Amino acid sequence: MRLSARSAVVDGALTPVTIRVDDRLITALEPHADPEADIVLDDGILTAGLVDIQINGAFGVDFAAADEAGWDAVAARLPSTGVTSFQPTLITAPLPQLIAGLDTATEARDRQEDGPYARILGVHLEGPWLAPRKKGVHEARHLAEPTPEAVDALMSAVGFDILTLLTLAPELPGALEAIKRLSSAGVAVSIGHTDATAAQVEAAADAGATLVTHIFNAQRGLAHREPGVPGAALSDSRYRVGLIADLHHVAPEICTLIFRAAPGRVVLVTDAIAAAGMPPGAYVLAGIPVELGEDGVPRNADGTIAGSALTLDQAVRNLLGLGMPVPTVIEAASKVPAEALGRADLGRIAVGARADLVHWTEDFHPVRTWVDGRELPALAGTRVGRA
């Protein structure tokens, strides 16, 4: 297949391109739009598929309690938001329950292979090794410390190989050793739900941590004498920083500041719950009742924000609305999260990369999506360009 676009995000720039796809991979790029290609996109913008590394659920489905139909429904609908790869995220629960969740995710990944779905990259465990003072909506009764025995239990679990990212608080007893062990085993470690000082953030990076989970949220804040988690991570090039860009979790001005402070290191995430893509009403996050209000923000009974109702394409539109450059925003939702997981084959339009592509309207609504070079079922709305 050869596909051409008048405008595409390639190597951090907007440019015309013609792409050749063979056996699911991009095998050649030409720096012009060939009008005789098999698929010609005359309008809109072509980008790599988006990668969401923190999503608890969507479209009425909570991964922590979903059945097979629920898992498949989310994976089938995510491409309508431009997402072609994702990490289902499980939050704090008893460790045996989380381990069982790894098995469920493995079954879903195997079942969905070669189907009309966004790709499951692996599982993100957000907890249970989090700081009680920064727990957010995570249930305090299930919080724990990363003891050697607990880490042993996780790493010896049958489903451990699907674990690709784990969030913990680095100041907890045993946390630095856990970071070393997990990162050595190929699991990316993110610090989050943490009251760590800047010194402890640096120690975590020394041990192998490479990410910050939803920067500025549920962590020691930035101060002029104690930089806290945001200050330490933004100034340390070893960290990539996750950002929930719904403009509620983090103010627009701070979103802009984050991009300026950490160019090329910002990872857009949704932290979406079952309420994403749904109307206001009552939902559940890992058994916790949550209400999605008219303002689009889900909260638990005491008013604490509980994840988001954000989709990744909306995050892109939000940041573009702040005046940020298109390539910068797109790469924060595709290339940078893929790099955070060591996946150089995803999130970019480049020779050797997976042919995961999204065609957007001029106002950045996805209208066509390809995973491994195969176009998924038509999305709602009017297509642009011609095939």
**Catalytic positions, please?**
271
Q: What is the DSSP letter of 221?
A: -
Give the H or E element holding residue 124: strand 123-126
DSSP string across 143-211:
-----HHHHHHHHTSGGGGGEEEEEE-TTSTTHHHHHHHHHHTT-EEEE-SB---HHHHHHHHHHT--E
Q: What is the DSSP string of 106-117?
A: HHHHHHHTTSSS
CA atoms within 13 A on the CB side of 132: 6
Check the CA dihedral 85-24-15-378 and report its sign: negative
Taking the C-alpha atoms of residue 286 and residue 290, their distance in angstroms, rounded to an integer, is 10
Quote the tokens at residue 11. 């190597």
